[in-house]
Amino acid sequence: MRIQNVDIIYRYALSRPSDGQWGRVLDNGSWTGMMGMVHRNEVDLALGPFAATWDRAQAVSLTTPIVMDPLSVVVGRQSPKTNTWGFVLVFSPATWLGILVAVFAFTVTVLAVSSSSGNKRPGRKILGLMGLNVAFEFLRTLLQQDSRIDVKYRPVKVLLGCWMIFVLGVSRMYSSVLVSVLTVRNTPVLFKNLQDITQNPSINIILEEGAAAASIFRNTKTGAIGAVGEFFKQGRVMEMPLTKFLDAMNTRVHGKKDSLLIAEQLLCSAMMSQSFKEEGYCKFYLLPEYFTQYRMGLIITKNSPLLDPITYRILLYHSMGLYESWINKENAQASQCYSAPGAVSTMEPFSVNSFAGVFGALAAGLLLASVALALEICFPGAWTVEPARWRGLNVHNYSQST
């Protein structure tokens, strides 16, 4: 306005609407807020910038757009968390499956090589228990325990040597990646697009009262925007004036995390920048998905002689990039908060919660071992077999050794 004043040379006085809103059309055709003041010729123009909509174009004159501004969604950042079962997720499911397949393959190969000496083959029951014992010995080696296999046959020695080399590589990779998993905390990202929002039955939406965004959601009946518009019927939309936005962002969007804020990106950036200046860290982020690109400009009374000169000067300033420069300078603090959070490294000492999954797996293993011990005590004969001795291979049986 100051630049327009110097260039066009005219005097101006500032006036504010009593309701503090941009303005929306009522059922009787009248307008509230700044739109109403311009529509009733109480003022000559309103700065805004205002989003160009069909209803507004029928009531006032719209200048050429100062900027194209999409609607954005402000989401509260979650606290970084350590994955309790991160020690299992060090390897992908395919890798774990590959390790189990390797155990099975080595077991079958050792049994095949050991039984190829020409000796009389054992019965099916003994062969099955022998296979379980050999597989168990391979798992013991994988878990960094000693092996009880007495090896004298050279081909079996070669196979066991290959298995130990394989285990050495796997264990080194696992231990190195495990340290990274425990020292890095991931911030959960609950929403990535509008579709995720519509599928959450407990989330609420915060909109600016009297803004164009509320009209867009009310009037759209299809797609993700139409699905968000259904929130009005479900009582999950809170409309409030701009002055209450920052408080709502702190208490609902970030505090309770039961709400999201949808507004023009410039407004979202201004709110996030102000929050960053006050708190010193990013409490919010923007969804990567933008929608409903708005043409943002000034509004002027119908048939006003100010329309053409103001439009010309907006084009002039816009071509020089002045408006974008002002906005970037004003909201520079918020630029680092735009993207969704990811992994965060931490130097804090490990807590018991960090190893809850490990303790859970240990407890499950001890419980399984207790059940196996109880079965051996209750049914001793079912587990007693003659030790299987093939050429160069002797696997001690638990029941024989005890």
Alpha carbon distances (Å) from 91 to 121, 177, 178, 344, 364: 39, 9, 9, 20, 20
Say which residue, 332 or 163, is predicted with more confidence: 163
Q: Does residue 5 surpass a pLDDT of 60?
A: no
∠ CA 302-40-216, nearest 5°, is 75
From the list 11, 34, 30, the residue with the least C-alpha distance to 21 is 34
List, for residues 26-68, the tens digit of each pLDDT value: 888 889 889 999 999 999 888 878 888 888 888 899 888 888 8
Does the model's pTM come out above 0.85? no
Q: Where are the domains of the chain?
A: 68-81+187-343, 93-184+366-401
Average pLDDT of the residues of the chain = 78
CA 323 to each of CA 49, 212, 308, 318: distance values in angstroms, whole numbers, following the listed order: 12, 22, 19, 6
Distances (CA, A) of 129 to 126, 135, 368, 390: 5, 10, 18, 14
Residues 308 and 179: their CA atoms lie apart, in Å, by 66
Instruction: Report the alpha-carbon distance of residue 284 to residue 99 in Å, rounded.
Output: 42
Q: Is the CB of residue 263 less than 8 Å from the CB of residue 74? A: yes
Residue with tokens 């020292």: 183
Cα 176 to chain centroid distance, Å, stands at: 25
List, for residues 370-395, the tens digit of each pLDDT value.
Answer: 888 888 788 776 555 454 454 445 55
Amino acid 37: pLDDT? 92
Q: Which of 218, 185, 20, 219 is nearest to 86 (CA)?
A: 185
Contacts 24+ apart (CB under 8 A), 144-153: 144/171, 148/395, 148/396, 149/393, 149/394, 149/395, 150/393, 150/394, 150/395, 150/396, 151/392, 151/393, 152/391, 152/392, 152/393, 153/113, 153/114, 153/117, 153/391, 153/392, 153/393
**pLDDT digit string (tens) for 328-365?**
777 666 667 777 666 555 556 666 666 677 777 788 88
Cα gap 170→323, rounded to integer Å: 57
**CATH class of this structure's domain 68-81+187-343:** alpha beta
